[in-house]
């Protein structure tokens, strides 16, 4: 009986000991939430991005690109932001949330401004990727469609 119990415990320990870590050297990001998918002029668009990093050295750059499905040649339809991630003391197996916000056709202190097509409603999506201090780059993730009302 004791032998069977020891074998069962050994297999359990082996299973949990060999479990693959969710933290990698390459930063991992995902979209946690978006406050809205339809914006009127003057509204805020807020993204919350989950991240993990094995070394915890994500204090480099968060890249953001707005891509218009309606007016692909309008200003801001390409690369819109290169945000410096605030500096902090890195810790191993770092997990957290990055918050990014934009004001739609408005000057709101603390927020960059985005614009739509101008003469008609715009539908756009946003791409995000993260680079850490060791120059490792996350996969690129995309938001759902965001409607920017004229």
Supply the pLDDT for residue 133: 92
The domain limits of the chain are 21-148
Contact 86, 59 (CB under 8 A): yes
Supply the pLDDT for residue 72: 65
Contact 80, 137 (CB under 8 A): no
**Which CATH class for the 21-148 domain?**
mainly beta
**Residues 6+ positions from 85 with CB-CB distance below 8 Å:** 58, 59, 60, 61, 62, 98, 130
> How far is the C-alpha of 91 from the C-alpha of 135, rounded, in Å?
17
Q: Which residue has 């070394």 as its token pair?
A: 55
Closest by Cα among 57, 101, 109 to 80? 101
Supply the pLDDT for residue 1: 44
Other Cβ atoms within 10 Å of 134 Cβ, number: 13
Supply the pLDDT for residue 2: 41
Structural element, H or E, at residue 16: helix 2-17
Mean pLDDT, the chain cut into blocks of 10 residues (150 residues total): 43 49 88 96 95 92 90 60 78 91 93 86 93 94 95
Supply the pLDDT for residue 117: 82
The predicted model scores a pTM of 0.80
Closest by Cα among 100, 101, 147 to 124? 147
């Amino acid at each position: 009986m004791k032998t069977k119990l020891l074998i069962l415990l050994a297999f359990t320990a082996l299973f949990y000991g060999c479990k693959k870590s969710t933290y990698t050297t390459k930063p991992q990001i995902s979209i946690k939430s978006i406050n809205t998918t339809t914006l009127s002029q003057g509204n805020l668009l807020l993204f919350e991005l989950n991240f993990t990093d094995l070394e915890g050295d994500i204090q480099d750059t968060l890249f953001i690109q707005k891509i218009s499905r309606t007016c692909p040649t309008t200003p801001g339809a390409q690369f819109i932001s290169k945000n410096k991630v605030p500096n902090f003391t890195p810790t191993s197996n770092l997990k957290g949330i990055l918050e990014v916000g934009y004001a739609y056709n408005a000057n709101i202190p603390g927020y960059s401004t985005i614009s739509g097509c101008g003469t008609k409603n715009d539908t756009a999506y946003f791409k995000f990727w993260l680079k850490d201090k060791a120059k490792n780059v996350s996969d690129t993730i995309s938001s759902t469609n965001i409607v920017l009302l004229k």
